Amino acid sequence: MEKYLLALKHVANYILANSHLDFHSDLFKLFIFFVVTVILSFLVNFFLVNSILGPSYRVFVAPGIVVHEFSHVLICFLTGAKVTKISLFDKEGGSVRHQPSRLPVIGPLLISFAPFIFGTALIILFAHWLGLKSADLSALQPNTGSVLTFLKSVAHQIDFHDPRNWLFLYLALSVAVTMTPSRQDILNIAFLLVAIFALAFYLFQFTKFRLNLSFLPTDQIIALLTTVIILLIFSLVLSIVIFAASKIIKK
């Protein structure tokens, strides 16, 4: 395993040293936010599934599962993909079966990433109701003390004396841990993703093509996505606590 990790490190260092990619571009920043969001969501799922709750924890995030699946349904309708079956609480948490979209390439991508799009919008709405403000993640360090201090500062923004805020927080967390594409969603578009990344790498590495995102309010978008990251970090801490408690109970 160490040899594979070392080889991967050498490959990454070579790419960073020889790549023409602009790692400070708005596009790269948005990509990093998306990757971090997906990783955090999968980590939350991993700890909860392997805790004493098991797969049944999905019952506690039912609102998020409903949002996840019906966002698929909505985009299927908009892209001409006929839905043949909807399941909300099967073994994997939920699924939507549909026929191929009438929009090639774009249709499957939108269908697979629909939960992320709608989930982000809902979390931003819940965060507004909770009174959460975008935080500066650059001050966050990869250690327990820093994370706890960061979460404490975020928690101080919420009025826990208002019963409605407990509901908004629960709904926001349930959406946050279920908003990323599922394993099946990724498998459905795996070939497309590989082809798109390969084409993008070729264009940025070997041509003068550059994607101009100056028309987008990138700073505002990143500030909004920061709220999603905050709630996912909060969810991750809770899932780790539940996972650790489960191990103690089992002993």
- Name the amino acid, one letter, at 237: V
Which carries the bigger pLDDT value, residue 151 or residue 37? 37
Q: How many residues does the chain have?
A: 251
Q: Is the pLDDT of residue 84 over 80?
A: yes
Whose CA is closest to 169, among 140, 127, 218?
127
As beta bridge partners, residue 97 has 85
Check residues 224 and 65 and name the one with the higher pLDDT: 65
- Judge whether residue 1 has pLDDT over 50: no
103: pLDDT confidence band, cut at 50, 70 and 90? confident
Could you give the residue ranges of the DSSP H alpha helices within 50-178?
Answer: 62-78, 106-130, 144-155, 163-176
With respect to residue 233, please indicate whether it lies within any of the assigned structural domains.
Answer: yes
Percent of the chain with pLDDT over 70: 69
Global pTM reads 0.73
Number of domains comprising the chain: 1
In whole angstroms, how large is the CA radius of gyration of the chain? 20
Residue 97, pLDDT > 80, answer: yes
Contacting residues for 231 by C-beta, under 8 A, at least 6 apart:
123, 127, 172, 173, 176
- Record the tokens describing residue 111, joined without a space: 């269908």
In a domain, 1, yes or no: no
pLDDT of residue 18 exceeding 60, the answer is no
pLDDT of res. 71: 92
SS3 category, 145: helix
Residue 28 lies in a domain: yes
Answer yes or no: is 237 within a domain. yes
Residue 149 has pLDDT above 70, yes or no: yes
DSSP, collapsed to helix, strand or coil, labels residue 84 as strand
Indicate the helix (H) or strand (E) that contains 224: helix 218-250
Question: Higher confidence at residue 251 or residue 156?
Answer: 156
Range of the domain at 142: 23-243
User: Does 189 map to a domain?
Assistant: yes
Structural domain includes residue 209: yes
Per-residue pLDDT, 74: 92
Of the candidates 95, 94, 112, 96, the residue with the CA atom closest to the CA atom of residue 58 = 94
Q: Is 97 inside any structural domain?
A: yes
Average pLDDT, the chain: 75
Q: Is 198 among the domain residues?
A: yes
| Nearest C-alpha neighbor of 127 from the set 60, 172, 89, 182 | 172
